Structures are given as C-alpha cells and as structure tokens.
Amino acid sequence: MSVNTTQVHSIKDSQTKKTKSRTTWFKRWKNQCLFFLATRFGHLLLLLAGYWTKITVVGEHHVKKLREEKQGYIFIQWHGRMLIPIFYLRKRGIIAMVSEHRDGELIARIIHKLGYSTARGSSTRGGRKAFVEMVRSLREGGGGAMLPDGPKGPRHRFKPGTMLMAQRAQVPMVPITFGGNSTWVFHSWDRFTVPKPFSKAVLCIGEPIWVDKNLRGAEFETLRKSVEQTMIKQVEGCDAMAQGEIPVSESIIGGSTSC
C-alpha cells in the first residue's frame, strides 16, 4: 500500500506545529514565572549586590552643590553600568524615565521599591507624555535619571533625547558610572556588569554638563558627541580606579546617603 506524499507532509507539518506550540507555551510560562519572581524579589537582589560591595564614591560634591542651590539635574549613565548607581541613589526622590515595554515594566516595579518615581515612555511609545513630566519635575528642582543608550542600544551611543530634555528644562546633566575590581559581565548587548560578592567598586560622579538653550544643528551634535566621549572615558577612568591603576584622591566609603 502506497502512502500519499501530501499526507506525509501534512502529518509532519501537524507534528511540527504541535511541537512549536508546546515550545511557545513553555517559553511563555517560563517568562511569566521569571517576571513574577523578578518583580517581587529583584529589588532585594539589587540591594544585596550593593551591600556586598565595598563602594568608594568619587565626585559627590558636584551633586551636593546642585542640591544646595535647589537646582534640578539629570544623572546620565550607560545601561550596562546602572546597578551600583541605582543602589547608591535609592530613596532620594529621583525620577527615572522608563520604557513602557515589558522590560521597562520590570525595571519600574523594581526601582519603585527602592524609592524612585518613574515617567513611563520611550522613543516608540508614550515618549511625549513622559518627556513633559520629566521636564516639569526637573524645572521644580528635582533630580532625574536617564539611560541615554537604552532601552536596546546601540551600546554607548548617546541618543539626543536626554540632551533635549536637559536643554528644555535648563538643568545640567551629571555623568555617573561605576567600575569594579572583580565583576561579572553578561553577554548582553549592554555588557551588563555586576560586582562579585565582597569585591570593591568605585562610583564616579562627573562634573555637571549644561546645554545652552540656543544650541542647534551642528553645534548641538558636536556637544552630543563630546558628552558621549566624556561618558566613555569616565567608565575607563572608573575601571582604572577600581583596579588600582589610578589613585582615588577623594572618596566616601560604603555608599553614603548624604548627596
């Protein structure tokens, strides 16, 4: 008895669809479980990572001066180097711009538990509303936080939205990053970096960067590139401090909460 070729292909296609359906269902279930656990316990893991790290802070006086003057400001940090800055800046009334996508929802739920507020939006969804909310808060003297290469890169590419926000609100941008003497670096687009238990880290706060309200066109782009390079060099310098290649002349140990 011969078997129709069409029937054979039909059976194989049916089996393939069932296999894909089971795989999709398992992947969806796994993602839902991970999301549930991360939103409930992610802030505890972040706190643990911060507390198990001996943190040296350099440049805190830059922010102290702005606070004393009741001047708003925006912390700017690369996506892959956000962990220690998030820990350090917790419970200080910082407002962060977070994407409305699923990854953004995860981050928002975690940082809310650490004392941050959020403006939800990105370049593809809800961006205008979040932008206006951030500008209003900054003009009133609040502190903000932005990841200028987020939410999905390219890595260390400073997107212009953060500069436009600083220009509109007339507040300075304050570069912040960290380096560690012993870290895990994930194989993600941002090379997300986590200090290993009981290691040392240096958190670096740079000088405030102002954007003139009249800056346009080529001059605006020149400043954008300059800020991008400043942040890249800050990471390199911070890493060198953490590795002991550059002496740390000014520091506060253990994650001070005074700024």
How many other C-beta atoms can be found within 10 angstroms of the C-beta atom of residue 196? 15
How far, CA to CA in Å, does 85 sit from each of 77, 81, 155, 175? 8, 8, 18, 11
Q: What is the pLDDT of residues 237-256, one digit of tens each?
A: 999 999 999 988 655 444 43
CATH number at 50-253: 3.40.1130.10
Distance CA 73, CA 171 (A): 5
Distance CA 29, CA 21 (A): 12
Instruction: Check residues 76 and 14 and name the one with the higher pLDDT.
Output: 76
Q: What is the pLDDT of residues 14-33, one digit of tens each?
A: 555 555 566 676 677 666 77
The gap between the terminal CA atoms of the chain, to the nearest Å, is: 84
Of the pLDDT bands very low, low, confident and very high (cuts 50, 70, 90), residue 103 is confident
Look up residue 30 and give its two tokens: 């796994």
Q: How many CA atoms lie within 13 A of 159 on its CB side?
A: 17
Instruction: Check residues 6 and 55 and name the one with the higher pLDDT.
Output: 55
How far, CA to CA in Å, does 128 sit from each of 19, 97, 123? 42, 11, 8
**Domain range annotation of the chain:** 50-253
Distance CA 119, CA 167 (A): 18
Give the model's pLDDT for residue 255.
40
